Amino acid sequence: QLGTMFATQTHPGKIPEGPGLATECRRALDEREAPPLLIGVGGVDATNAAKLIEAGCDGVAVIRGISDARDPEAAARAICRALAGAGTRISKAAQNTRAETTAQNAADVRELMRTRLSMTEAELDRMVRRRPLGARATAEPKLDWLQTRLELSDAGLKKMVLMQPQLLTQSVEKMESNCDWLQRRLDLDDSGLKKVVLENPSLLAFSVEDNMAPKLNWLQDRLNLDAAQLKKVVLGRPSLLGYSVEDNMAPKLDWLQTRLELDAAQLKKLVVAQPTLLGYSVDANMAPTLDWLQTRLDLDDAGLRKVVLVKPQLLNYSVEDNMAPTLEWLQTRLDLDDEQLRKAVLRLPPLLGYSVEDNMAPKLEWLQTRLELDEAQLRKMVLTLPALLSYSAETNMAPKLAYLERETGLSRSELRDRVLIFPQIISYSLEKRYRPR
């Protein structure tokens, strides 16, 4: 009946734990039939006092020096007991008023989300379970600011709020400060900032000093990235701003460098080319994928390293759904032995990501029909020039073969014989190699 009070330490230049604790307390208390008052006690400044109110506190008692006590926790508890027992106006406030206000605030915010963002009842229920949404008077200006600052459509705003409903408990000043810092630190234009925030909305609540700044500094130093490369990596994997250096990125990069015997330049090249690998699991993904690939193709360490450096995306490919059936199909289609298959992959690592149905099957069928090749001739062409599998039939090979027939006067069979002797003829540029002659 006296209400609930809590105390938390704050530190200059850092976001205190108070707002997060207040939100958790408020959610738990609001589940009661008659929710009690929630008072924050501590050496909070005006900004953090406002955050506590936004997070669900009914009031704040500013009492400095808690953190300097011999036993801060005991001191905080003593203060809470003293305030509760002193017969203050707050401790004797009518609880039904608080309950009615809380219920009305919740109803108002739900109505705002329904009309403004076309949210369903299921979506609203999911949001409320994750985080109380506060009052309409505080939520609506934040929606306006987010939509204007990031140039979001209604659908984009809805997606962001569903992903991170706690944004509605953050102050506009905090979110604006984080946006400004990100743009300066990474030289992001408005579209770049929008991409980063849409993919990782929680960064609007991150501490710059304790989280983002040291994390980006570490990554830049670890990989010796220039400003443009750091920007590219973050744009390619915005969620890395939420990764732990000690528990995630540092051990992952160390593992990759050791497993593939990469020098610093090669590791840098790999991450810049495929920033998403920072989100891959070593145990569940990369380690078994590399082990399988090395065994399936009988690759030595140098061969495995070459394949990964050329096609880093394969670190996230499914063995069962992608690489295994692709290699099995290619080996069967061209009647390749294991050594021939290994050489083809080493010369064209991207083929591990090619679609059989949409790419390789129709391409080989077209090539065989166009040049009237038997199976042995088709196999010879592909083994001599695996890059054929990367060429477009319609925009690359067909125009070149038609040009050669027309300009040289060769019959189809004569053209076939010439291509079989020197398949690289198809790799030459029509505009730069043939027509200038």
| Helix/strand/coil (H/E/C) assignment for every residue in 114-165 | HHHHCCCHHHHHHHHHHCCCCCHHHHHHHHHHHHHHCCCCHHHHHHHHHHCH
Give bridge partners of residue 59 from the DSSP assignment.
Answer: 39
Q: What is the mean pLDDT of the chain?
A: 84
Tell me how far apart the alpha carbons of residues 397 and 385 are, in angstroms, rounded to a whole number: 13
Residue 162 has pLDDT above 80, yes or no: yes
pLDDT attached to residue 3: 45
Query: Which of helix, strand or coil describes residue 41?
Result: strand
The pLDDT > 70 percentage for the chain reads 79
What is the pLDDT averaged over residues 185-210? 94
On the question of pLDDT at 202 being above 60, the answer is yes
pLDDT for 417: 84
Which tokens sit at 311? 């096609």
The string of pLDDT tens digits covering residues 263-274 is 999 999 999 999
Least confident of 26-40, 150-164, 244-258: 26-40
**CA distance linking residue 146 with residue 143, whole number of Å:** 5
Average the pLDDT over each of 130-134, 193-197, 399-403 and give the range with the smallest value.
130-134
Q: What DSSP string describes 231-265?
A: HHHHHH-GGGGGS-IIIIIHHHHHHHHHHTT--HH
Angstrom distances, CA of residue 119 to CA of 25, 109, 130, 153, 296: 26, 11, 15, 14, 49
Q: What is the pLDDT of residues 317-346, one digit of tens each?
A: 999 999 999 999 999 999 999 999 999 999
- Quickly state the pLDDT bin for 65 (edges 50, 70, 90): low
In the chain, % of residues over pLDDT 90: 54
pLDDT of residue 45: 67
Highest mean pLDDT among 43-47, 89-93, 366-370: 366-370
The pLDDT value given to residue 315? 92
- Of 113-127, 242-256, 353-367, the range with the lowest mean pLDDT is 113-127
Stronger pLDDT, 358 or 55, i.e. the higher one: 358
For residues 139 and 100, the model is more confident at 139
* pLDDT of 253 above 70: yes
Residue 415, token pair as written in the block: 């053209």
More confident residue, 234 or 10: 234
Among the ranges given (49-63, 112-126, 129-143, 411-425), the one the predictor scored with the smallest mean pLDDT = 49-63
pLDDT band at 9 (very low <50, low <70, confident <90, very high): very low
Check residue 347 and give its pLDDT. Answer: 96
* Pairing mode of beta strands 4-7, 38-42: parallel
- For residues 77-98, average pLDDT: 56
pLDDT of the residue at 14: 42
Residue 36, pLDDT > 80, answer no
Predicted confidence (pLDDT) at residue 61 exceeds the cutoff of 80? no
pLDDT (mean) for 79-83: 69
**Which of 8-22, 71-85, 410-424 tops mean pLDDT?**
410-424
Token output for 357: 């149905």
Per-residue pLDDT tens over the stretch 89-122? 444 444 445 556 667 777 888 888 898 989 999 9
- Residues of the chain by 3-state class (helix, strand, coil), percent to 5: 75, 5, 25
- pLDDT interval class at 304 (50, 70, 90): very high
Residue 291 has pLDDT above 70, yes or no: yes
Q: Which of 62-66, 97-101, 322-326, 416-420 has the highest mean pLDDT?
A: 322-326
